[in-house]
Amino acid sequence: MTVLARFILIGSLFFVPSAGIAEQIFLTPRDFLADTFEGKTPKPKVLWIKGELKAAIADILERKSVGLRIRYWGRGSRTAWILEEIGKYHPITAAFVVERGQIRRVSVLVYRESIGWEVRYPFFTDQFLGVSLSADRRLSRTPDNISGATLSTKAMERMGKLALYLHQQTPYASD
């Protein structure tokens, strides 16, 4: 076996563990939004991330915020947010509907981790229903942790807090 062949064989062994991680799409954003807004999805709006808003988002996410804007959809007193947060190694894409300051719906759209996928099931996501945000940016009710999915659970909590906080920053919060 040549030196180059050995190098390629040994080097490829380092990438084998990540090969088993598959992206699982449970619901498309289009389908989520169509269901949320009864088939008449409003045009997306943009919330620009700067100044005090940027600092608050960094506080909620417990890290420096990323990006210049966040897209959302709104009608009446309802907003929908499609957010991403890192679980253990990879982003979890989840959608939140906030109405009158409370979470009304949560769906995991895309899951990319090899463990912790239980956060997509209603027994977990239903814990967010009716939850609101306190003045000190805490959830009114903390969801129960899932053994073996602590980081995914925490990522979902951070996204829930963020959706509630961002809703407060929109004109839909006053309806």
Cα-based torsion angle of the residue sequence 124, 19, 87, 30 in order, rounded to the nearest 10 degrees: -70
Phi-psi region of 53 (alpha: psi -120 to 50; beta: other; left: phi over 0): alpha
pLDDT tens figures, 124-163: 999 999 999 999 999 999 999 988 889 999 999 999 999 9
Q: Which pLDDT value is given to residue 64?
A: 87
Cα-based torsion angle of the residue sequence 48, 111, 128, 35 in order, rounded to the nearest 10 degrees: 80
pLDDT tens figures, 101-125: 999 999 999 999 888 889 999 999 9
pLDDT of 91 above 70? yes
pLDDT tens figures, 13-30: 444 444 445 789 999 999
| Cα separation, 28 vs 112, whole angstroms | 14
**Model pTM greater than 0.75?**
yes
| Cα separation, 127 vs 56, whole angstroms | 24
| Cα separation, 106 vs 136, whole angstroms | 22
Q: Which two tokens stand for residue 41?
A: 């999805």
Q: Which pLDDT value is given to residue 12?
A: 44
Look-up of token digits 């080097």: 11
